[in-house]
Each structure stands twice: as structure tokens, then as C-alpha cells.
Amino acid sequence: MKIDILTLFPEMFKGVFGSSILKRAIEKEIVDINCINIRDFSKDKHKKVDDYPFGGGPGMVIKPEPIYDAIESVKAADSRIIFLTPKGKVYNQSIANSLSKEKHLIFLCGHYEGVDNRIIENYVTDEISIGDYVLTGGELPAMVVIDSVVRLIPGVLGKEESFIEESHYDGLLEYPQYTRPREFKGHKVPEVLLSGNHKKIEEWRKYKALELTYIRRPDLLKNKKLTKEEEKLLKQIKEDMNKLL
Ligand code: ADE
């Protein structure tokens, strides 16, 4: 996959791609990530890229020409051009899955100021928000999206790091994990995990994943098609919780 990031602050990305799983994905040539400075496309002698908003009001707006030229310098026929904005569709794992199958992603990051809306209306294919809060720019959201997308590309995670069992993979939050020691400051690891009985462990994990999702994120259960076994477990979870009340 090729990823191009159009930004006024390319230095913000230094370090992010130089460590851990993203670094490995770049080294293995599974992904090729480039930062492009929108300012390099300014035709202004002072490299100015913004101007006052028509109609007045506070702040500045990034002009369309340097963004258009920056997009044109990297765009291919099948590129997805993603603008990071709090007005966008709220990001989730299913969007991450869909983006991970693309050949070319272009991320357009605004910073402080707005972007001339003609770029968004005519050239952007996706508007994404990473949540209902406002950041100073699209750079951090772009990093969040890129990290969550790249780890889904086949070959990026090793066998030991599989995402098959983690939160949101199958529409549930992940079951709790424990490691040695068996007892820590008087707090014991759940007995079933020490039993060696794989069927019982599987059942316990499914119960815990469903329980956690039911308590913390019932909205996720509404969007998920439960198997017969999961429905039975959920019924039991509700009964068990009623007993505690
Ligand atoms: N830019 C500023 N805030 C944002 C958010 N929450 N998501 C995406 N882009 C943004």
C-alpha cells in the first residue's frame, strides 16, 4: 500500500513511522509512506498558503491551489483522498478494514485553519473524524487512522500478534488477559485459566467478552449478529447480573 500525507507540518510525523510495527511494515516494503509539505506547492514568493475567509470571520483558510497541486502530484486513478475533520464520519474498525484493502491512501491534514471547501467538495473521497472532540489539526487523526489501517494489512503483524482475538475484531470488546505470577498482592488469576481445559477457557473468554461489551458498549451488540451460542451466553449474563442486584 502507498500512503501520502499532505500536511503543513511534516515534522510532526517524524518518529511515528520510525518505531515498532509501522517501522517494520515500512522495512518489509508492505507499505510506503511519504509526507508532502503543502507549502512546497505555494506559488507565493513568501510561501504563503492561507488567506482570509470570504464573508469575514476569525481565522484563516488554506487556499485551494497548493492543496490541489499537492494532490495532483501524487494522485492515481484509484486513490482514496481522506480529509481529517471533526465534521467527518466517525472512525471505527469497519472503516479501518475497508481502508486496509486499498492500494493508495492520501491523507489531507488541515491545521488551525479551515480548508477551502471546493477542495473538500470536488477532490476528497472520504471525510473522517476520530471522535467528537476538536484537535488543533488533522495530523494526529491521520496517525491514528494510518496506525490502525497498516496493522490490518496481511503480513504486518506476526502470528503472535494476531488481531483475530482483540477488541472490535468480531464486534466485541476483548476478554481480560493475565500472566504470571498466579497471585499478585493477594489478587488471584481466575482459576479457569489455570485449569488447562481449553474448552472451558474458550467459554469463559466468550462469556467475559460478551459481559464486558454488554456492560460498557451495548451499542456494539445492537450492530452484531449473535450466534446461537452467544445469544445463550448473553441470556445467562443478564440472569447472572439480575442475581447480583
Ligand atoms: N481535526 C480536528 N479535530 C479532528 C477530529 N476529531 N477528527 C479528525 N480530524 C480532526
Are residues 126 and 97 both part of a single domain? yes
Q: Are 137 and 45 part of one and the same domain?
A: yes
| Residue closest by Cα to atom 9 of ligand 1 | 85
- The answer to whether residues 128 and 194 belong to one domain is no
3-state helix/strand/coil string of the chain:
CEEEEEECCHHHHCCHHHCHHHHHHHHCCCCEEEEEEHHHHCCCCCCCCEECCCCCCCCCEECHHHHHHHHHHHCCCCCEEEEEEEEEEECCHHHHHHHHCCCEEEEECCECCEECHHHHHHCCCEEEECCCCCCCECHHHHHHHHHHHHCCCCCCCCHHHCCCCCCCCCCCCCCCCCCCCCEECCEECCHHHHCCCHHHHHHHHHHHHHHHHHHHCHHHHHCCCCCHHHHHHHHHHHHHHHHHC
Using the mean position of ligand 1's atoms as its centre, give its distance from the Cα of residue 178 in Å.
35
Q: Residue 212: which pLDDT band, with cuts at 50, 70 and 90?
A: very high
Cα 33 to averaged position of ligand 1 atoms, centre (Å)? 21
Ligand 1 center–CA 85 separation, angstroms: 4
Q: Lowest-confidence range among 92-96, 113-117, 126-130?
A: 113-117
Q: Which of 136, 104, 121, 97 is nearest to 7 (CA)?
A: 136
| The last residue of a domain, from among 119, 150, 181 | 150
Pair (237, 136) in one structural domain: no
Residue-range definition of the domain harbouring residue 30: 2-150
Q: Give the C-alpha separation, 209 to 171, whole Å.
A: 10
Task: Look at ligand 1, atom 2, and give the residue with the nearest C-alpha.
Answer: 135
Residue 89 lies inside a defined structural domain of this protein: yes
**Domain match, 10 and 89 both:** yes
Cα(86) to centroid of ligand 1, in Å?
Answer: 4
Ligand 1 atom nearest to CA at 110: 1
- Whether 161 maps to a domain, the answer reads no
Q: Which of 118, 150, 182 is the last residue of a domain?
A: 150
- Residue ranges lining ligand 1, Cβ < 6 Å: 84-86, 129-131, 133-135, 138, 141
State in Å: Cα 139 to ligand 1 middle: 9
Looking at residues 110-139, what average pLDDT do you find? 96
Instruction: Give the chain's domain count.
Output: 2
Rounding to the nearest 10 degrees, give the CA dihedral for residues 22, 28, 30, 36: 60
Q: Is 61 flagged in the annotation as binding?
A: no
- 72 within domain boundaries: yes
Residues 109 and 176 in one domain: no
Which residue type does 211 have? E
Identify whether residues 144 and 228 lie together within a single domain: no
* pTM for this prediction: 0.93
Average pLDDT of the chain, as a whole number: 95
Contact predicate 100/75, CB 8 Å: no
Looking at the structure, do residues 73 and 120 belong to the same domain, yes or no?
Answer: yes
* 51-86 pLDDT per residue, tens: 999 999 999 999 999 999 999 999 999 999 999 999
- Does 225 fall in a domain? yes
Q: To test ligand 1's pocket by mutation, which of 134, 139, 144, 148 has the most ligand atoms within 8 angstroms of CB?
A: 134
Residue 141 inside a domain? The answer is yes
Cβ count near 1 (within 10 Å): 19
The answer to the question of whether 221 is labelled as a binding residue is no
* Residue that finishes a domain, picked among 83, 115, 150: 150
Instruction: Look at residue 157 and tell me if it is in a domain.
Output: no
**21 C-alpha to ligand 1 centroid (Å):** 24
The model's confidence at residue 167, banded by pLDDT at 50, 70 and 90, is confident
Nearest to 39, CA basis, from 60, 17, 62, 13 = 62
152 is in an annotated binding site: no
Instruction: Say if residue 130 is in the same domain as residue 210.
Output: no
Q: Is the distance from CB of 234 to CB of 206 less than 8 angstroms? A: no
Domain presence at residue 174: yes
Instruction: Give the domain CATH number at 104.
Output: 3.40.1280.10
Instruction: For residue 196, give the CATH number of its domain.
Output: 1.10.1270.20
Residues 204 and 138 in one domain: no
- Is residue 10 located within the same domain as residue 131? yes
Shared-domain flag, residues 7 and 31: yes
Q: Would the annotation count 178 as a binding residue?
A: no
pLDDT in tens, 86-99: 999 999 999 999 99
| For ligand 1, atom 7: residue with the closest CA | 129
Percent of the chain exceeding pLDDT 90 equals 90
Radius of gyration over alpha carbons of the chain, in Å? Answer: 23
